[in-house]
């Protein structure tokens, strides 16, 4: 007997009625961000591990869903390393990218990468999915949407003046 199709633990489906409510909420949030001069950005779902590990180091590593390198990811790996059982060392050789676990790290990378194109103070908002590899607890998910708003490049706490 075939098993029933299922989704990974810590994920969920959304019905059309749930999506309509969710889209209404997201649209309302976007409207207010734009009203106060925030601009939308979007970053890739995956980042280089060197970027993702920069903020939290080893703690962040526990949050990351790593992505295997394309192609024959084991080619060129020393057999001694394969047999040593050092998953940490092996993992860094077969995976150079991971799914983002928050929006702050990709935003910091975006600012550094695009600093010559950005007018400061820069007010951005971002509403995108993130993924966390830690074991899901009750009421927590491995895949969820995060909503971030940041102002960078201003010493003022009163951002209304920059509108």
Same domain, 78 and 121: no
30 and 78 in a common domain: no
Instruction: Say whether 37 sits in a helix, a strand or coil.
Output: coil
| Domain assignment present for 8 | no
Do 109 and 152 fall into the same domain? yes
* Local mean pLDDT, 10-residue blocks, the chain (163 residues): 88 97 97 97 95 73 86 70 67 84 95 96 97 86 95 75 48
What whole-number distance in Å separates Cα of residue 150 and Cα of residue 36? 12
- Domain boundary residue among 64, 81, 99? 99
Domain membership of residue 31 (yes or no) is yes
- The candidate with the shortest Cα–Cα distance to 102, out of 51, 68, 58, 137, is 51
Look up the CATH number of the domain holding residue 39: 3.30.930.10
CA separation for the pair 104, 35 (Å, rounded): 22
Residue 163's contacts (CB-CB under 8 Å, 6 or more residues apart) are 36, 37
What is the pLDDT, as a whole number, of residue 87?
65
Q: What is the pLDDT of residue 71?
A: 74
Strands 39-40 and 122-131 come out as parallel
d(CA 162, CA 150): 13
Write the CA distances from 120 to 80, 88, 153, integer angstroms: 51, 40, 5
Question: Which pLDDT score is estimated for 57?
Answer: 62
Domain that holds residue 59: 49-99
Let me know whether 115 and 158 are in one domain.
yes
Report the candidate in 158, 145, 155, 161 with the shortest Cα–Cα distance to residue 30.
Answer: 145
User: Domain count of the chain?
Assistant: 2
């Amino acid at each position: 007997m075939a098993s029933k199709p299922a989704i990974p633990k810590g994920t969920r489906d959304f019905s059309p009625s749930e999506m309509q409510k969710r889209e209404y909420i997201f649209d309302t949030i976007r409207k207010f961000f734009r009203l106060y001069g925030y601009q939308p950005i979007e970053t890739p779902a995956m980042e280089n591990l060197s970027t993702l590990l920069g903020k939290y180091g080893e703690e962040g590593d526990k949050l990351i869903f790593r992505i295997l390198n394309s192609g024959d990811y084991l080619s060129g790996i020393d057999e001694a390393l394969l047999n040593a059982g050092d998953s940490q060392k092996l993992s860094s050789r077969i995976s150079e990218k991971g799914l983002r676990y928050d929006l702050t790290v990709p935003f910091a990378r975006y600012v550094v990468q695009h600093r010559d194109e950005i007018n400061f103070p820069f007010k951005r908002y971002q509403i995108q999915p993130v993924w966390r590899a830690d074991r899901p607890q009750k009421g927590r998910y491995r895949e969820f949407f995060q909503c971030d708003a940041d102002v960078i490049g201003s010493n003022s706490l009163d951002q209304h003046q920059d509108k």
